[in-house]
Structure 1
Amino acid sequence: MRVQYVAIEEILTNAVYHRSYEIREPIEVRILPDRIMIGSFPGPDRSITDEDMQKCRFISRRYRNRRIGEFLKELDMTEGRGTGIPKILQAIKKNDSPKPIFHTDEDRSYFVVELLLHPAFIKGKEPELRPELSLQNKILRILKYGDFSKSAIAEKVGHKAVSGELNKQVRNLMKAGLIEYTIPKKPNSPKQKYRLTSKSQNVEI
C-alpha cells in the first residue's frame, strides 16, 4: 500500500480535535508526489517537550476542544485516551512505511505531520533530485510554516550544525529571490531569521 489510510484518517481526526478554532487558518493538506503533509494551528501544548516529540510521545496535560473530542468519540473516530499517535505509528509500521516526521516551531504556532510515500513506489518513478536542489526544497518547505533562523533550519533538515552547504543553498535561494531576511537592514543580527518571498508562491515546494 502506498500510504496507510488508517494513519491518514487518524492524523486528520487529531487535526480537527486539537486545532484552535479561535485561529482562522484552516487545516492544510498538501499531497505531493512523494509525501502527504497535514498541518494545523497552533502546535502541540507546551507540556509536550521537544524530547517527547522526538520520541513520538504526545501526552498533553491540557486538552483543547473537549466537546469536539466527545463528538468524535461518539462517531468512533477517536478514543479520547491519547491513543492517536500510537495508532498512527502502528499502522505505519504494519505498512513498512517510513516513520512520520513532526514539525513545529519554538512558539508552537503550528503543527505539521509529514507522511512519506512507501519507498517501493518511488524507485524508478522519477529522477532523483540533485542533493543541492533537494536541500533547497527542504529549506523552502520548512519556511512555508514560519520564519526560522539558520540554526533552526539546520536542525530541521537534520544537520548537527550550520554547514557550508546549507549556507551556500540559503545564499542561492536569496539570490533567486525565493527567501529573504526578516531584518534586512541588519543581516548579522543575532535575531535574524529567514522567510519566503511572494515569488516563492509560484514555485512548487
Structure 2
Amino acid sequence: MDVKQKVLSDDDARELLEISESHFLDLKSADISPSKLTKTVSAFANTSGGEIYVGINEVEGTNGVERKWSGFANHEAANAIFQVLETMNPLGNNYAVEYLSCSSQSGLILHLTILKTQEIVFASDGKAFIRRNAQSLPVSSGEALDRLNYDKGVKSFEDEILKIEKEEITNSVTILDFLIETIPTSEPEEWVTKQRLMIDDRPTVAGVLLYSDNPQSVLPKRSAVKILRYQTKKDAERDFLAFDPLTIEGSLYSLIYSAVEKAKQIIEGIEKAGPSGMEKISYPEEALHEILTNAVLHRDYNVAADVQVRIFDNRVEIESPGRLPGHVTVENIQRTQFARNPKIVRLINKFPDPPNKDVGEGINTAFEAMGKLRLKKPTIQELEGAVLVTLKHESLASPEQLVMEYLKSEAEITNSVGRELTGIKSENSMKQVFYKLREAGQLEQVPRTPGKSRPGGSPRSRFLKNSPHYRDLLSA
C-alpha cells in the first residue's frame, strides 16, 4: 500500500484540531485499541465511506473540552492498527493511508480514508456497524443485518419467493406479448423457470415485477410510481399540491414509459419567464427518462415505498427508495456500476425498445442531455432511506447574459421577472446583477413607478436596455 506523508502548516494544523466530527469524519486518540478502532472502520465501510484522524486527544481545558495534537512517535508505532485492518475482510484495499506532521506539534497523525465496500465489513468483535451522523452504531438484530445486506446489494429482494400461483406470470398478457415479440419459440413456464424467476412453481419478486399484468396487487406500496405536482418553488407541502397525487401502475416496462410520458405532459404545462416572454418549461426527455428508469430498476424493492416524482415550478425531484447499493457513492456514481437487481436489469433489456438501452450509462446520458440544453447538471443526494435526484430548470448562462437575452425582445425587466429568469432567490442579489449591467452601460434604470409598490410599500424599480450605449453581452 502506498503510504504518503504530508507536512501541515501551523494554520492547517489549527484547522484540523477545530474540525467537526460528522457522518463522514471521526477523530480518535493514538491510544485507542486497534480492535475498538475497527468499529469506526466497519461503520464507514458499511455506509458511505469516511475519514478517521488517529492522534487527536480531547482534554479538559479552561474553556471546556479542547483538542490536542498527540500523534504517534513514528510510523512503526501504528503497526498494530494495520495488522488488525489486514484481518478485516472484505475491507481489502478499500482504504488509503496518510501521515500528517507539523513542525510545531508532537508526533504523527494517522489519516485513514475508508471507502464504501461492496460487502459487509465486520469489526474485530464480529459485529457490523453503520454510521449515523457522528456515531458508529452496531447492527444488533438479524432483521437489521438483513436490512444492511439489502442496502449494500449483497442480497437482492428481487430473488424473494412469493406465495402466489405461477399463473400470475405464466399466463399474463405481458409475458405472452413479450415472448411473441422476442422469443416466439419459447413457452412462458419454460422461460421463467430457465431465468430463475420461478422456484418450485412459485414466482419471485423479479418475475412478478417484469411479467405480471398488475404487480401492484401482489407488491402493494413498493412497485408503483407516484407523481405529485407542487405549484411552488419551495418545499413540498400539501397546500401547494395542484391535484391529488397520480399513481402509475403496471409491469416495469409499461410503468417506466407511462410514468415518463405523464411527467413530461405535466412539466410541459408549466410556464416561466423567458427571452420571448412566458415560455413552456422543457427538460430533455432523455434526462427524465434515464433518471426515472434508474429509479425504478435500481431501487430497493424491500422498502415499502413507491418511487416518487415531485414536479415543482423550477425543478423535478425523483426519489428512489433504498440507499445506493454496493460500493456506489454520490461521488463515484458516474464512474462505477453496480446492479442491485441484476435479473431485472438484464431481462427488461430484452424487451423491444428497452428503457435501459445503454445498460449502466443512464446517469451519464442524463448529465449529457442537461448539458446540451445548457441546463445545470442533475444533483444526487443520498438520504436516510432513499436516493434523490433533482433536475433543475436553471441555465448555465450567467445572470447577466440571461437578462440581456430577455431584453432583446422585451422593452423592460423588473426584479421579479429577473429572479424568475435567472433562478436567483434574493431580491438584493438580483439588484446587484442589474446594477452591474447599469454601470457597464448596458441598462438604464427607470424612475420609480408611482402606485406600483413592492411588499413593504417601496416603489418598484424597472430597467430598460440602454439603447445609446447598448452592447450585446452574448457576442462580447
TM-score by length of 2: 0.24
Q: Deviations over 1:141-183 (max 9, x none)?
A: xxxxxxxxxxxxxxxxxxxxxxxxxxxxxxxxxxxxxxxxxxx
Greater strand content: 2
Q: Distance in 2 between matches of 1:80 and 1:19?
A: 18
Moved over 6 A (4+): none
Of 121, 125, 141, the residue aligned with 2:420 is 125
2:388 match = 112
Question: Which residue type is aligned with residue 327 of structure 2?
Answer: S
How many residues align? The count is 125
Alpha carbon RMSD of aligned pairs, Å? Answer: 2.7
Larger RCO (CA under 8 A, 6+ residues apart) = 1
Equivalences for 1:86-97 in 2 at 5 Å? 86-97=364-375
Alpha carbons of structure 1 residues 84 and 128: separation in structure 2 relative to 1, 3 Å: closer
**Any idea what SS the aligned residue of 1:44 has?**
coil
Contact 1:58 1:85 in 2 (8 A): no
Alpha carbons of structure 1 residues 65 and 46: separation in structure 2 relative to 1, 3 Å: closer
Max Rg structure:
2
Corresponding position: 1:57 with 2:335: yes
Of 68, 81, 91, the residue aligned with 2:344 is 68
Q: Distance in 2 between matches of 1:123 and 1:46?
A: 44
**Any idea what SS the aligned residue of 2:331 has?**
helix
Question: Which residue type is aligned with residue 328 of structure 2?
Answer: I
Q: Distance in 1 between matches of 2:329 and 2:378?
A: 17
Contact 1:2 1:118 in 2 (8 A): no
Greater helix content: 1
Q: Distance in 1 between matches of 2:328 and 2:288?
A: 22
1:31 match = 311
Alpha carbons of structure 1 residues 115 and 123: separation in structure 2 relative to 1, 3 Å: farther
Question: Which residue type is aligned with residue 296 of structure 2?
Answer: V
Give, in angstroms, the shift of residue 85 of structure 1: 1.1
Q: Distance in 2 between matches of 1:44 and 1:20?
A: 9
1:101 match = 379
Give, in angstroms, the shift of residue 45 of structure 1: 1.3
* Unaligned runs of at least 5 residues, structure 1: 132-205
Contact 2:314 2:392 in 1 (8 A): yes
Contact 1:13 1:77 in 2 (8 A): yes
Corresponding position: 1:15 with 2:291: no
* Unaligned runs of at least 5 residues, structure 2: 1-280, 396-401, 407-416, 428-476
Alpha carbons of structure 1 residues 130 and 6: separation in structure 2 relative to 1, 3 Å: same
Q: Distance in 2 between matches of 1:101 and 1:18?
A: 17
Q: Distance in 2 between matches of 1:129 and 1:89?
A: 24
Give, in angstroms, the shift of residue 40 of structure 1: 0.8
**Any idea what SS the aligned residue of 1:28 has?**
strand
Q: Distance in 2 between matches of 1:12 and 1:50?
A: 17
Q: Distance in 2 between matches of 1:72 and 1:116?
A: 29
Alpha carbons of structure 1 residues 117 and 41: separation in structure 2 relative to 1, 3 Å: same
Alpha carbons of structure 1 residues 49 and 11: separation in structure 2 relative to 1, 3 Å: closer
TM-score by length of 1: 0.53
2:356 match = 78
